[in-house]
């Protein structure tokens, strides 16, 4: 039966993890995978999460099947966070939200639904984008193409190219947009640029799919969500996938959501019924634990305040690491303009290093980043930053 099965390529980023784990170098540093570590290099367990779990443990409950669309209080909390609990769109029941298996799950439920709705639509993702965007939409049956995004020469966004590609796309094209903290480049659109994107999407009749995997890691929860309000103000129907993997440090619980903004409450009911079919035929219904934790934190004022503080702490630490990286690189003799490092937002930095330089970082220094030059700034800390900067300086000089 399996004799003809070909070996699939390793996932480029998870494959890097395997290589890292096998490296005997005691000074190795993993800047590959997108995970936030604290200053001790540890994956944090947020105090608000531990508190919610203690509450749950104090009043243990049996685990029946959840509704297909997940915990109602969770879906409501997601809507509050993404759109604002008092927003018109929520109050008039124009958002269908379903609990999903992480941000990836939200994207896939949305992709499968869109494939049924408009099977011949093309999907546009940014060039470059999170590796899984292409794979996920391709596996949902779509032809996936790109719009220009990264401008290597100017270390920023090729905005004119992006806008031109959106304007030229046929009506109905699905456009995947990173709501904040662009992965992998770290470069985000300004609010004025977003306004132009919204306008272009509206005029061309495109279907926006906002991927919000890092809300709160850029400028703040409300600030990072501002783009959602720009799309709402334009009166567009659109998709938003949410991930709590990073913002709650709940990677392994697979907590995310998909929200679909519709034009009327009646449409919303119908869309929700179709999303439920996608879920039912894939995994039936979602798991209880992670979403219960997130719902508890978001709906308990003291825990919510604690979460905002802890999330703010992660955001500030990342920013400090960006500043420290610039300083250490300068101290190591790099004279290039390094301002781009602090202009970037979120967990990642497109370092501008070549494939060869990234490979040398790995083989000579045990510093693991992605071949594209992407490094995870959220894995830098006060103990490893000097060594990382010295290694980068060494591969840049030679």
Residues carrying an active site annotation? 130, 211, 246
Determine, following the binding rule CB under 6 A, whether residue 99 of this chain makes contact with ligand PMP: no
CA distance 3 to 255: 37
x/- contact string, 164-183, with ligand PMP (CB under 6 A)? Answer: --------------x----x
CA distance 330 to 203: 46
The CB-of-55 to ligand PMP minimum distance in angstroms stands at: 24
The CB-of-300 to ligand PMP minimum distance in angstroms stands at: 23
Distances (CA, A) of 157 to 109, 124, 126, 193, 352: 29, 16, 10, 10, 14
Cβ-based nearer residue to ligand PMP, 34 or 366: 34
x/- contact string, 45-84, with ligand PMP (CB under 6 A)? Answer: ----------------------------------------
Residue 288 tokens, joined: 């209880």
Q: How many C-beta atoms lie closer than 10 Å to residue 229's C-beta?
A: 14
Among 51, 77, 79, 102, binds ligand PMP (CB under 6 A): 102
Determine, following the binding rule CB under 6 A, whether residue 242 of this chain makes contact with ligand PMP: no
Cβ-based nearer residue to ligand PMP, 15 or 170: 15
x/- contact string, 245-264, with ligand PMP (CB under 6 A)? Answer: x----------x--------
Under a CB-based contact definition with an 8 Å cutoff, are residues 191 and 226 in contact?
yes
Among 31, 125, 213, 392, binds ligand PMP (CB under 6 A): 213
Determine, following the binding rule CB under 6 A, whether residue 211 of this chain makes contact with ligand PMP: yes
Which SS3 state, helix, strand or coil, does residue 256 take?
strand
Q: How many C-beta atoms lie closer than 10 Å to residue 236's C-beta?
A: 17
Among 103, 110, 225, 290, binds ligand PMP (CB under 6 A): 103
The CB-of-178 to ligand PMP minimum distance in angstroms stands at: 6
Residue 210 tokens, joined: 């906002």
Determine, following the binding rule CB under 6 A, whether residue 290 of this chain makes contact with ligand PMP: no
The CB-of-177 to ligand PMP minimum distance in angstroms stands at: 10
Under a CB-based contact definition with an 8 Å cutoff, are residues 276 and 267 in contact?
no
The CB-of-130 to ligand PMP minimum distance in angstroms stands at: 4
Q: How many residues bind ligand PMP (CB under 6 A)?
A: 12
CA distance 65 to 68: 8
- Of 82-90, 100-108, 153-161, 370-378, which part binds ligand PMP (CB under 6 A)? 100-108
Cβ-based nearer residue to ligand PMP, 103 or 208: 103
Which SS3 state, helix, strand or coil, does residue 212 take?
strand
CA nearest 150: which of 173, 127, 174?
Answer: 127
Place of tokens 């703040």: 220
The CB-of-266 to ligand PMP minimum distance in angstroms stands at: 30
CA distance 156 to 162: 12
Determine, following the binding rule CB under 6 A, whether residue 366 of this chain makes contact with ligand PMP: no
Chain position whose Cβ is nearest to ligand PMP: 102
**Residues 6 or more apart whose Cβ sits within 8 Å of residue 69:** 75, 97, 98, 99, 272, 275, 276, 279
CA distance 190 to 116: 34
CA distance 155 to 373: 13
Under a CB-based contact definition with an 8 Å cutoff, are residues 284 and 59 in contact?
no
Determine, following the binding rule CB under 6 A, whether residue 351 of this chain makes contact with ligand PMP: no
- Of 15-23, 97-105, 159-167, 217-225, which part binds ligand PMP (CB under 6 A)? 97-105
CA distance 390 to 366: 12
Determine, following the binding rule CB under 6 A, whether residue 126 of this chain makes contact with ligand PMP: no
Q: How many C-beta atoms lie closer than 10 Å to residue 115's C-beta?
A: 18
Cβ-based nearer residue to ligand PMP, 245 or 357: 245
The CB-of-341 to ligand PMP minimum distance in angstroms stands at: 19
Cβ-based nearer residue to ligand PMP, 295 or 391: 295
CA distance 124 to 149: 11
User: Which parts of this chain interact with ligand PMP (CB under 6 A)?
Assistant: 34, 102-104, 130, 178, 183, 211, 213, 243, 245, 256
């Amino acid at each position: 039966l399996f004799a003809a099965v070909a070996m699939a390529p390793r996932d480029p980023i998870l494959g890097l993890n395997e290589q890292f784990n096998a490296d005997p170098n005691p000074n190795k540093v993993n800047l590959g995978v997108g995970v936030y570590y604290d200053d001790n290099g540890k994956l944090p367990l947020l105090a608000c999460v531990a508190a919610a779990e203690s509450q749950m443990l104090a009043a243990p409950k049996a685990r029946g099947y959840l509704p297909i669309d997940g915990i109602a209080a969770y879906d409501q909390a997601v809507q509050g966070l993404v759109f604002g609990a008092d927003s018109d769109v929520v109050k008039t029941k124009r958002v269908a939200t379903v609990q999903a298996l992480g941000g990836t799950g939200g994207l896939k439920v949305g992709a499968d639904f869109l494939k049924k709705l408009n099977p011949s639509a093309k999907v546009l993702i940014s060039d470059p984008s999170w590796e899984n965007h292409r794979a996920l939409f391709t596996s949902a049956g779509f032809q996936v193409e790109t719009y220009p995004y990264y401008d290597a020469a100017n270390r920023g966004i090729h905005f004119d190219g992006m806008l031109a590609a959106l304007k030229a796309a046929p009506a109905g094209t699905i456009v995947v947009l990173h709501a904040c903290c662009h992965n992998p480049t770290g470069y985000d659109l300004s609010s004025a640029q977003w306004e132009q994107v919204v306008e272009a999407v509206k005029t061309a009749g495109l279907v926006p799919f906002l991927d919000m995997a890092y809300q709160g890691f850029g400028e703040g929860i409300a600030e990072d969500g501002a783009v959602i309000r720009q799309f709402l103000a334009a009166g567009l129907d659109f998709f938003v996938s949410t991930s709590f993997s990073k913002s709650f440090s709940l990677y392994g619980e697979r907590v995310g959501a998909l929200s679909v903004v519709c034009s009327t409450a009646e449409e919303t009911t119908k869309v929700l019924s179709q999303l439920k079919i996608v879920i039912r035929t894939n995994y039936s219904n979602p798991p209880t634990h992670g979403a219960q934790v997130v719902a508890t934190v978001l709906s308990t004022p003291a825990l919510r305040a604690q979460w905002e503080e802890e999330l703010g702490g992660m955001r500030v630490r990342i920013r400090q690491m960006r500043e420290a990286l610039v300083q250490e690189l300068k101290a190591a003799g790099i004279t290039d303009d390094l301002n781009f490092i602090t202009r970037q937002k979120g967990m990642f930095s497109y370092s501008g290093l070549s494939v060869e330089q990234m490979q040398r970082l790995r083989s000579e220094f045990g510093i693991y980043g992605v071949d594209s030059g992407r490094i995870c700034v959220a894995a830098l800390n006060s103990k490893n930053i000097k060594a990382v900067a010295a290694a980068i300086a060494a591969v840049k000089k030679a």
